Amino acid sequence: MRLEVPVMTQADAVPPAKKTIPKVRRPPAGADPGALPRHWFGGVALFTHVSNGVNLLFPAGERFFVRSVRHFEARLDDPRLRAEVRAFYGQEGSHTKAHEDVIERLREQGYEVDRFLRFYEWLAYGVIERLSTPALRLAATAAAEHFTAIMAEDALERRVLDAAHPAMRELLLWHAAEEIEHRAVAFDVLAQVAPGYLTRMGGLAYATVTLAGFWALGTAMLLRQEEAPLRELLAAAKAARGDDDRQIARDVFWAGIKDYARPGFHPDHRGNAGLAQAYLASAGA
């Protein structure tokens, strides 16, 4: 029996309407991590370090995204997509610098993060990246951009950052809006240079395992440096959460994985560009 494998075709992958080419911006004026307290997310250590755990991954991760797309840039014949790619590089560069400043603030607060960062960068980019094909790296980038975009949607739509310190709230909302703005760039490059469905699913597996694994390790590393026992940190987080029974893993990530796995999926079909536009307009960006 022959196995029929769905293929991501251009007809499936092209969104119904083109959006504005992303714009490279500076972080908002109020997004200065030098003012951050240790527990900047509602005064709750667990919430803070879950966010800090992924913040640790951003600088090296976004450099990886740029490398993965740049490898195929010479093969792009669509002037508009090439312009989007250049804007993607600029936005990711700005995000990298902003999150490096946050990491420096963690060091100033007394957190030991450099051993974790050395391990993460060695394994993720010294080993896994080198063992992966260029197409798989690009597919992982497209999937990771989907994850960052669905986290961004959640932040903007559900106002989950309202309890965060104003500086970090502004930084993360700016980052979130730009992630939505350029969410389809790596995907569109993948659709042009390596449109196979299995490649896309391989990238989804790559991005899911590495993001979940390194995020969990980074969060655990930071929580171990807190003086309070873990059970007290969990109890404080439960009390702060109140009656909200939403599960991020189920309601955001699992739903996003199922959406991405559809053969005809395109990031722009989610129709949430207005969230980013509304924030950027309110921020004067």
**What crossing angle do the helices spanning 197-223 and 134-158 adopt, rounded to 10°?**
60
pLDDT band at 35 (very low <50, low <70, confident <90, very high): confident
Query: Residue 140: pLDDT above 90?
Result: yes
State the chain's mean pLDDT as an integer: 88
Query: Residue 47: pLDDT above 60?
Result: yes
Which pLDDT tens digit goes with each residue over 6-15? 333 433 444 5
The neighbour count for residue 158, using CB atoms within 10 Å, is 13
Beta bridge partners of 196: 7
pLDDT band at 282 (very low <50, low <70, confident <90, very high): confident
Which pLDDT tens digit goes with each residue over 250-275? 777 888 999 999 999 999 988 777 88
The CATH number of 43-282 is 1.10.620
Give the Cα separation of 47 and 44 in Å (integer): 6
| Phi/psi-derived region of residue 68, left when phi > 0, alpha when psi is between -120 and 50, beta in every other case | alpha
Give the Cα separation of 9 and 11 in Å (integer): 5
How much is the pTM?
0.88
Q: What is the residue extent of each domain of the chain?
A: 43-282
Query: Residue 3: pLDDT above 50?
Result: no
Q: What is the pLDDT of residue 237?
A: 56
Amino acid identity at 84: E
Beta bridge partners of 164: 41
Which pLDDT tens digit goes with each residue over 215-239? 999 999 999 999 766 676 666 556 6
- What would the two tokens of residue 79 be? 């002037």
